[in-house]
Amino acid sequence: MIVRMQQGADTEAARSVAEHLRSRGFEVHLIASSGAPVIGVNGRQIPEDLGPTLCSLPGVADVLDSPRPYRLAAREARPSGTVVQVGNVRIGGPEPVIIAGPCTVESREQMLRAAEAVRAAGAVMLRGGAFKPRTSPYSFQGLGEEGLRLLAEAGAATGMPVVSEVMEPDQVELVAEYADVLQIGSRNMANFPLLKRVARVNRPVLLKRGFAATIEEWLLSAEYILAGGNDRVILCERGIRSFDPSTRFTLDLNAVPLIRQLSHLPIIVDPSHGTGRRDLVASMALAGIAAGAHGLIIEAVPDPDDALCDGPQSITPDTLASIAARARAIHSALTPELAVTA
């Protein structure tokens, strides 16, 4: 069951409804930071009188049965959509958001140079990894806390909020000290202790789809974060594993309009990991925007061939500038068609 509060209803009214439900023996989960408050209700049996009783309480708009295993992430919970505010950036708002930067932080000079370049090219948020989950134990694993410090410095110098990956529950508070958005990578999409931990910190979460995960599994992972009280979740389609070795992964652009139908959460696309090929990034980035993505996260650096991590899929700032300009034009042309109604 989903209880939707009225637009403009305060959090206290929602908490009062939640307490009423708890007093009747139900497990409840309240989200309230990025839109009208919503309450998810769990219980083996929902009595017939519960809906009318709840609708009579102050601030309640309506009560819905949820047909899906995820309640709080469902489009029905917040039909108008969720906009995640990160500093002065609105993800899920009227303009596509460009997040760019290196795969990993390598040095102060590299980070500052990359930040200035992607900012000039049209990025509004900065990405950079300090803790890197690599397939090989011999690959560069990141600089750890020093990398976070350098990333935060570069973000502050260019006026951009920063995104960085957290890999373990014990890292959450440390990464949150430096990063404005916590990224959950593809390999950790189903790391449920980590999802529960990021739900408890005051940071938006960028949740990448697992490269072998179904849409429903992905949204249930988002549900873990929402059920923990954090509704500032950004979904990221980053490619799924297929049989074809021509590309690193297969960027599943079906997921974009499907997520917009199924969920109120904003969705962005990662064409860098989705293709693994520099020559395909621009085409797939623009295709993602045309499919309805709220933004892009792209690996871009001044010297891609010298990158310690993911150089073959990293683009130059000039290419990023071209993508940003064309993405805005495509989004503007298609905005009426991309509108989603409940």
The answer on 143 and 41 residing in a single domain is: no
The answer on 118 and 56 residing in a single domain is: no
Residue 125 class from Cβ within 10 Å (0-12 exposed, 13-18 middle, 19+ buried)? buried
- In this structure, the strands spanning 84-86 and 89-91 are antiparallel
76: in domain: no
The answer on 96 and 31 residing in a single domain is: no
DSSP string of 223-281, one letter each residue: HHHHHTT---EEEEE--B--S-TTSSSB--TTHHHHHHHHBSS-EEE-HHHHH--HHHH
297: in domain: yes
Closest CA to 114 of 151, 139, 89: 151
Look at residue 9 in the predicted model and tell me its pLDDT.
Answer: 84
The answer on 212 and 167 residing in a single domain is: yes
Closest CA to 117 of 157, 144, 145: 157
The residue range of the domain holding 38 is: 2-65
71: in domain: no
Look at residue 46 in the predicted model and tell me its pLDDT.
Answer: 76
Look at residue 61 in the predicted model and tell me its pLDDT.
Answer: 92
Residues (pLDDT < 70) of the chain are 43-44, 138, 336-342
CATH number for the domain spanning 33: value is 3.30.70
Q: Rounded to whole angstroms, how far apart are CA atoms 151 and 178?
A: 8
The answer on 114 and 58 residing in a single domain is: no
DSSP state of 309: S
22: in domain: yes
3 state SS of 178? helix
**How far is Cα of residue 330 from the mean position of the Cα atoms in its chain?**
22
Q: Rounded to whole angstroms, how far apart are CA atoms 57 and 17?
A: 7
The answer on 56 and 8 residing in a single domain is: yes
Give the angle subtended at the CA of 217 by the CAs of 211 and 218, to the nearest 5°.
65
Look at residue 339 in the predicted model and tell me its pLDDT.
Answer: 52
The answer on 36 and 139 residing in a single domain is: no
Look at residue 145 in the predicted model and tell me its pLDDT.
Answer: 94
Whole-Å CA distances, 47 to 29, 53, 54, 57, 270: 19, 10, 12, 17, 44
Q: Rounded to whole angstroms, how far apart are CA atoms 329 and 318?
A: 17
The answer on 155 and 46 residing in a single domain is: no
C-alpha dihedral sign at 271, 172, 195, 341 = negative
72: in domain: no
Of 65, 95, 117, the domain-final residue: 65
- In this structure, the strands spanning 233-237 and 84-86 are unpaired
The answer on 296 and 329 residing in a single domain is: yes
**How far is Cα of residue 131 from the mean position of the Cα atoms in its chain?**
18
Look at residue 116 in the predicted model and tell me its pLDDT.
Answer: 98
Q: How many domains does the chain fold into?
A: 2
The answer on 173 and 48 residing in a single domain is: no
Residue 270 contacts residue 298 (beta carbons within 8 Å): yes
CATH number for the domain spanning 242: value is 3.20.20.70
The answer on 48 and 133 residing in a single domain is: no
Look at residue 338 in the predicted model and tell me its pLDDT.
Answer: 59
73: in domain: no
191: in domain: yes
Place of tokens 């932080």: 105
The answer on 95 and 52 residing in a single domain is: no
